[in-house]
Amino acid sequence: MSRLAVVTGVPGVGKSTVVKLALERLKEVGLEYELVNYGDVMLEIAREEVGVKDRDEMRKIKYEIYRRIQEGAAERIANLAKEKPVLVDTHCTVKKPEGYFPGLPKWVLERLNPRVLIIVEASPEEIAKRRSRDASRRRDEELSEEISEHQQMNRAAAMAYAMMTGATVKIIKNREGRVDEAADEMVKALR
Amino acid sequence: MSRLAVVTGVPGVGKSTVVKLALERLKEVGLEYELVNYGDVMLEIAREEVGVKDRDEMRKIKYEIYRRIQEGAAERIANLAKEKPVLVDTHCTVKKPEGYFPGLPKWVLERLNPRVLIIVEASPEEIAKRRSRDASRRRDEELSEEISEHQQMNRAAAMAYAMMTGATVKIIKNREGRVDEAADEMVKALR
Amino acid sequence: MSRLAVVTGVPGVGKSTVVKLALERLKEVGLEYELVNYGDVMLEIAREEVGVKDRDEMRKIKYEIYRRIQEGAAERIANLAKEKPVLVDTHCTVKKPEGYFPGLPKWVLERLNPRVLIIVEASPEEIAKRRSRDASRRRDEELSEEISEHQQMNRAAAMAYAMMTGATVKIIKNREGRVDEAADEMVKALR
């Protein structure tokens, strides 16, 4: 059976640091995952099939075509997972002005069929602090509440994805200064 | 593609005021939504097909027939949405003595295929206050906790609906005295 | 139509006491449920079909075979429910090192088709106290947080199961010293 896992987390949660560390440790014990970014695979397909040049152009694609590209990406990644362990980097939900957009709708899940769905979380306050270092455009407290809501919606989405696929949902807390523990937890979910 | 959105909210949240304001604003910019109440369409079909007279009689219908009517309503609304933008007024979940009843189960979602699911929320304390003006039959604190639970369950339900359809989930806070902001957010989700 | 309900709750919540009391009361009014443990039925099938001896051996079964056994159990229970009311004792999610494992994935729900999903809950602090009487291996506060997370994930899972089946989700609070009230609520969901 394929070994295919998905890793998600809201922006600013520190997902890539934890992933990097966990994949290094797994490699040391002989389990080598290929890290694949879902959006990159979609862009690749969009280039091939509809001549899209970059992510900006991706946003202008019609819904029906977008969905076909999304399905194509799921199939391509599922095929790759037949050859080697794959960790898919994507979003549980994407927050947009029109609402939370599900990253793994039914037609993606049916093709991808992941065994594990990882959510990397951090305290909303810490994430808000990290984000406002870049932006500082809003009061941190309000931003914290929004991040907390987003993380809650991601948990609900992940459990719906789990119902559809039988995948386990692993919540990993990336606590400030304790990235080692977070990586340990990720190793448990991926080995 | 059809423009079909669903708007939900627990009783007392002030949903209809926000909807009215948002639809007026959208009309001003040339985007005219037809507001359709899901329960009304079900009653219409129940009248035609099984001779039901009112909502009271609806409650006595057998499960299998109820489900067929529910499916029929979804089809009728989806057909309407081929001609014009439709906003469906319904419930994310209905709270009954036997538990939270899902307003949009799989067989409804597959026929309705909404693009946006809106949840209008308010602080449980404010909703409790509004409700007890009418009823005052229970301590406000206990009622607040129940409303908070109901709103949490609605979020989880909405994300499951989103997984099934790819719809976005828009949470709109209807804050006391700030209905204008809530209407603005609804416009973002519907335009 | 079959009368099939599912009852769930995290370990230490006091589920069996509430179930026992509720089933007694229902029996008094002439409604007799058969209580069926999902894991027991799976073990039964695993014994018959793949010669497994106990629960320990169940854990070593390959995923594809495990899933077939899980489906078989759902079918067997659904058949039983054609003859008499059945209450299925199982887990909303099972907490494992690799994450929350969904107790009722799509292929189980489609065969089981429950009308009601009951979640027995208790305050995380009370559950932590009960569990540490046995184990005391961890600080109660940390354990409380974990139990709270688990209960939240169970709610999300249950709403996804409800979307799939149309079942209602009944949350029952098993408050310390008030098991009678909890049983009353369960009776409401099952009668």
| Mean pLDDT per 10-residue section of chain B, whose length is 191 residues | 93 97 98 98 96 90 94 98 98 97 98 98 94 67 94 98 98 96 97 92
Give the pLDDT of residue A70.
97
Helix/strand/coil for A177: coil
Cα–Cα distance measured from residue B159 to residue B143, given in angstroms and rounded to the nearest whole number: 25
E strands of B38-157, at which residues? 86-89, 93-96, 99-102, 116-121
Which stretches of chain B sit within 8 Å of chain C by CB?
Answer: 62-64, 67, 93, 96-102, 104-107, 109, 149, 152-153, 156-157, 159-161, 163-164
Provide the pLDDT for residue B1.
65
Inter-residue contact A164 to A115 (CB < 8 Å): no
Q: Looking at the domain assignment, is residue A19 inside a domain?
A: yes
- Kindly report, residue by residue over C73-122, the tens digit of the pLDDT: 999 999 999 999 999 999 999 999 999 999 999 999 999 999 999 999 99
CB contact (8 A) between residue B159 and residue A100: yes
pLDDT (mean) for A109-127: 97
Model pLDDT, residue A176 = 93
Whether A136 has a pLDDT exceeding 90, the answer reads: no
Amino acid at C156: A
Contacts of A1 in chain C (CB under 8 A): 62-64
Looking at this protein, which amino acid is placed at residue C110?
E
Q: Are the CB atoms for B168 and B115 separated by under 8 Å?
A: yes
Q: Assess whether pLDDT exceeds 80 at residue A134.
A: no
Any domain includes B57: no
Is B103 part of a structural domain of the chain?
yes
Total domains in chain B come to: 1
pTM over 0.90: yes
Task: Map residue A131 onto helix, strand or coil.
Answer: helix
pLDDT of A139: 74
In a domain, A170, yes or no: yes
Q: Is the dihedral of CA A3, A9, A12, A14 positive or negative?
A: negative
Put simply, the answer to whether A163 touches C107 (Cβ < 8 Å) is no
Q: One-letter amino acid identity for B154? A: N
Q: Which residues contact C123 (CB under 8 A, 6 or more apart)?
A: C175, C176
Backbone phi and psi for residue C74, each to the nearest 5 degrees, phi listed first: -60, -45
Q: Has residue C51 been placed in a domain?
A: no
Angle of CA points C167, C172, C173, to nearest 5°: 160
| Smallest CA–CA distance from A63 into chain B, residue | B1
CA distance C107 to chain B (A): 14
Strand order in the sheet with B86-89: A93-96, A99-102, B168-173, B116-121, B4-8, B86-89, B34-37
What average pLDDT does the structure give for chain C? 95
Q: What's the whole-number mean pLDDT along residues C158-173?
A: 98
CA distance A96 to chain B (A): 9
The answer to whether C150 and B89 have CB atoms below 8 angstroms apart is: no
Transcribe chain C into DSSP letters.
Answer: ---EEEEE--TTS-HHHHHHHHHHHHHHTT--PEEEEHHHHHHHHHHHHH---SHHHHTTS-HHHHHHHHHHHHHHHHHHHHHS-EEEE--SEEEETTEEEESS-HHHHHHH--SEEEEEE--HHHHHHHHHHH---S-HHHHHHHHHHHHHHHHHHHHHHHHHH--EEEEEE--TT-HHHHHHHHHHHH-
The predicted model gives A15-41 an average pLDDT of 98
Query: Can you tell me the mean pLDDT for C184-190?
Result: 97
Q: Is the ipTM of this complex over 0.85?
A: yes
pLDDT value of position B9: 98
Is A65 contained in some domain? no
The CA distance from C175 to the nearest CA of chain B, in Å, is 14
- Three-state DSSP at A180 gives helix
| Residue A126, helix vs strand vs coil | helix
pLDDT tens string C109-156: 999 999 999 999 999 999 998 887 655 556 788 899 999 999 999 999
Whether B105 sits inside 8 A of C155 (CB atoms) is no
Does residue A137 have a pLDDT over 60? no
Classify residue C15: in a domain, yes or no: yes
- The per-residue pLDDT for B22 is 98
Q: Which amino acid is at A177?
A: G
Structural domain of C179: 4-37+85-190
Distance CA C47, CA C98 (A): 26
What is the structure's pLDDT at C73? 98
Residue B53 lies in a domain: no
At residue C88, the pLDDT reads 98
The confidence band for A131, taking pLDDT boundaries of 50, 70 and 90, is confident
Q: What is the pLDDT of residue C134?
A: 57
Q: What does the pLDDT read at residue A1?
A: 66
pLDDT for residue C133: 65
8 Å CB contact between B156 and C159: yes
SS3 assignment, position A61: coil
> What residues in C contact B101, CB-CB < 8 Å?
162, 168
Predicted confidence at residue B76, as pLDDT, reads: 98
pLDDT of C172 strictly over 90: yes
According to DSSP, the residues that pair with C6 across neighbouring strands are C88, C117
Q: Greatest CA separation found in chain B?
A: 48
Residues 6+ apart with CB under 8 A from A56: none
Angle formed at CA B76 by CA B72 and CA B79, multiple of 5 degrees: 140
Structure tokens given for B132: 């007890």
Backbone region of residue C99 per phi and psi (left: phi > 0; alpha: psi in -120 to 50; beta: other values)? left
The CATH number that applies at residue B109 is 3.40.50.300
Which of A71, A98, A119, A146 is the best mutation test for B, with the most CBs of B within 10 A? A98
Q: CA–CA separation, B144 vs C183, rounded Å?
A: 23
